[in-house]
Amino acid sequence: MSFSQFTEKDYEVIDKAYQTLRASAEKRCANAAELEVVQRAFEFANAAHSNVRRRSGEPYMLHPIAVAQIVVDDIGLGYKSISAALLHDVVEDTDYTVEDIREHFGNKIASLVDGLTKIKTVLDNEQKTHGDSAQQSMQAENFKRILLTLNDDVRVVLIKLADRLHNCRTIEHMPEHKRDKILSETMFIFIPLAHRLGLYSIKSELENIWLRYNEPEAYQDIKARIDKSVQEQGAEMAQFIKPIEEALTKAGFKFELKKRVKTPYSVWRKMQQKQVAFEEVYDLYAIRIIFDADQNSQESERDQCYHIFSIITGLYRYMPERLRDWVKHPKSNGYEALHCTLLSESGVWVEVQIRTRRMDDIAEKGIAAHWVYKRNGYLGEGDYEMEAWLERIKEILVNPDVNALELLDIIHNDLTSTDIYVFTPKGDQRSIPKGSTALDFAYLIHTEVGNKAIAAKVNQRLVKLSHVLKTGDKVEIITAEDAKPQPEWLKFLTTRRARTIVMDYFKAQRKQTVDFGRKTLENTLASLGIENDERNLQRLQAVYGVDNREEMYYGIGLGTLSLDQVPDALKKSSGSRLSWLRRALHMEDAEQPVAAPQSAAETFVIGSSDPDGPRFSIASCCNPIPGDPVVGFKAPDGSVTVHKKACPVAESIAAMHGDWVVVPKWLEQAEDNSFLVRITLKGLDRVGMLNEISRYVSLVMGVNMRRLSLQAESGLFEGYIDLYVQSREILDQMIKKLSSIEGIESVIRTEL
């Protein structure tokens, strides 16, 4: 931010932006009194931010106005949230306090602003204390209290999402190290939150911004291909839609038909996940049929959706295995729709989404629309799922036994988990995280059902309690009065609620469990010939991420802390429960405290011969090569690890330790350095294909191959080549040439 006197033009720009917001707010406000609160909030914030500018040079007030615009247009919140959005930076950036906001605007708006201020404070400060475990624990506890607003008032998180979206829209004005931190944090925390809260349009825009900055070449290439495809097949899509419109009109439906194309991020992600080329991504196009459900009809909303389905599948062939009934089985974020994939006359597969107007509102505006319909007395199939998720988050947050340093990881895993749908013996549907066992399901039904469980029947077949469930299973739990929880259950229980109940049960026997754990560890160390001394015990404590020795013995006694990693752990400490973080940074266990990293704004040249420069290592999780967009993390010992910006491990590190971020640059002359990459090939097999591929790679390009694996079957071949290249430019040149060889259908870079 900077300060300089506003000009008349600045005031005109602010007024124009506010008038647009006011017009939108007027539609959401119930009366003139509510609109007057919005007006006062604008005037208050405008005066507080007077003569303050953003990095871009524009008046700072344009930011809160833009956030409020997203709050009303994209999320559909009311006057209190609009006002809080306008005021959200006042307490943080000016001399005004929360009490000042309370005095002028009342308790609710003040509490929303207070929650937003705390979120900003924690996100700005939580990375600054990684060397002090007590401070780190305190910051995690702060984050825990902030996330409780999901239960106390979800609007705080919704407004924060709007704030994050606008910051990402203007992220080009940020320095690179700050941009990397914000985008990683966005992917790790805010995109999953937007998904869980049902905000599809916000989620999609954040994903595309993330891809545009982290994989700019991939983004531009995919976007150009999508645009070209839309231009070439626009007339064909119009021909596909016309018979559908005519048939639905004839059937008496009142509907709106929208065309949608997959976003660059969704195409890129599918290419990454399935390791396929752009041409192999199906359902590039989607048609959305949004109809007004007939409330007087004897048919339910779902029946009306299927009525439309029967009409359109009478016109076009559909793919049965691609049918998705999200009306009968809503997603965990409340999403409802009927999806099918139809084959057009020109041979293009087109996804068709069938929704009522209510379903569409919830799909676009998420939980805010869900509240509106619930308030008006309308409960859809998806209401149970959304409420159940909020309850599950509350259970995690209020649990006093959750290790504060694990919290962010726990929340992220819960946000990104995929749910499956199973049924009780009476046919009631329940959602449960993918990977859950029959015993997890027992505890989902009731604590006592879990505690007394001895076996289960899944689809009428007797199975063990450790049996992993899948969507559509009908589950019956078999109990016995004399049954009780067993320690080995903790080895296969996956849901946090079930694990917490079982661990609480064993707390009554804590002393015996601690003694058993101590003896087990002593015996293990003795069998390995390792000293049972203070130094080794401290290192193990750090590996397990426990606060004291008793907790470690207790976990070992319960079986929740595995002894399998002891030999490696005492050779090289992995630091804490967040061991994935230290492994990603290649950090060795330090004998003495070390200094914190220097300023995150530092720029380093990868491969520099400067003897005073930092040690560099290339992260094995993503294997970046010269030309890839990269981010670096400077560990406390001064070493720097280089990751791709799109690497999930890098996102996690930057989200939690933003002040470790540095800006690495590739050395321009790097002929002496080679980097290992993998390319995957698919195509039609023919005589001499393997020779032609290997000849081009080795002789023409002069590239050293480490491994070549190609398999042919029924006239098709598929496989990969691991090779060493000096830069991404050389790799791209080779991929382009290989793609032109007769019979090769796709050549893509994949992870090792």
Q: pLDDT at position 591, please? A: 36
- pLDDT, block means (10 residues), the chain with 752 residues: 83 95 92 95 95 90 96 90 95 91 94 86 57 47 58 80 94 88 85 83 94 93 90 85 95 92 91 83 85 85 93 92 82 83 87 92 75 61 58 61 53 66 82 89 93 92 92 90 86 85 78 84 79 81 77 80 69 40 39 38 62 72 86 78 84 72 74 81 85 83 84 82 88 89 88 77
**Three-state DSSP state, 549:** helix
For 126-199, where are the alpha helices, taking DSSP H only? 133-147, 149-152, 155-169, 176-185, 191-196
Q: pLDDT at position 451, please? A: 93
C-alpha span between 408 and 423 (Å, rounded): 31
List C-alpha distances in Å: 733 to 276, 287, 673, 729, 744: 19, 37, 18, 6, 16
All structural domains of the chain, each given as residue ranges with its CATH number in brackets, are 2-130 (1.10.3210.10), 216-381 (3.30.460.10), 416-484 (3.10.20.30), 509-575 (no CATH), 675-750 (3.30.70.260)
Residue 500 is inside which H or E element, if any? helix 496-506
C-alpha span between 650 and 566 (Å, rounded): 27
- Residue 315 CB-half CA count within 13 A: 19
Residue from 624, 623, 546, 628 nearest 579 by CA: 546
**Three-state DSSP state, 184:** helix
Q: pLDDT at position 590, please? A: 33
Token pair recorded at residue 544: 């397990």
C-alpha span between 307 and 340 (Å, rounded): 13
521-527 — which CB contacts under 8 Å span 24+ positions? 521/552, 521/553, 521/556, 521/563, 524/563, 524/566, 525/566
Residue from 732, 748, 734, 740 nearest 682 by CA: 748
Residue 443 is inside which H or E element, if any? helix 438-445
Residue from 308, 310, 305, 342 nearest 326 by CA: 305
Q: pLDDT at position 132, please? A: 44
For 251-342, where are the alpha helices, taking DSSP H only? 264-274, 301-312
C-alpha span between 76 and 152 (Å, rounded): 19
Q: pLDDT at position 573, please? A: 40
Strand partners, 666: 606
**Residue 15: which residues within 8 A CB-CB, separation 6 or more?**
none
Q: pLDDT at position 437, please? A: 95
Q: pLDDT at position 428, please? A: 77
Whether pTM > 0.85 for this model: the answer is: no
Which residues are known catalytic residues? 92-93
- Across 600-666, the runs of DSSP E, i.e. the strands, are 603-606, 616-618, 630-634, 640-644, 661-666
C-alpha span between 374 and 583 (Å, rounded): 47
Length of the chain: 752
C-alpha span between 704 and 385 (Å, rounded): 53
> Helix 8-28 to helix 62-70 angle, to the nearest 10 degrees?
20
What sign has the CA pseudo-torsion 180, 185, 187, 191? negative
**Three-state DSSP state, 567:** helix
**Residue 162: which residues within 8 A CB-CB, separation 6 or more?**
67, 68, 70, 71, 74, 75, 85, 202
